[in-house]
Amino acid sequence: AGVPANELLNEFVVQTVFDAQNFKAVLFQASPMIMVGLAGCMAFRARFWNLGLEGQMIWGAIGATAISLFQVGPEFLRLPLMMAA
């Protein structure tokens, strides 16, 4: 309301996508939701209807933390195990 379209386009697209620092910040903040979306896609692909993606994200974080704290498995497999959690 009252903002010229070119200024709005500049702020939302140009400054976000074409500025390396801002683009890195957007990817950093969006990465948990991207990972949850990919996990949801895998569940739907397996024909497992899971609508609790927020809970899945929280339990995945708890599982990854537990793997790290209790040093589950060999060291070279910990990061893949944490990502699978």
- Rounded to an integer, the average pLDDT of 31-50 is 83
Which tokens sit at 80?
């893949």
- pLDDT single digits (tens) 8-24: 888 888 888 888 898 99
Domain ranges of the chain: 1-50, 52-85
| DSSP labels, 2-45 | ---HHHHHIIIIIHHHSSHHHHHHHHHHHHHHHHHHHHHHHHHH
Per-chain mean pLDDT for the chain: 86
pLDDT of residue 3: 83
71 contacts: CB under 8 Å, gap ≥ 6? 78
How far out from the chain centre does Cα 40 lie?
11
8 A C-beta contact, residue 36 and residue 57: yes
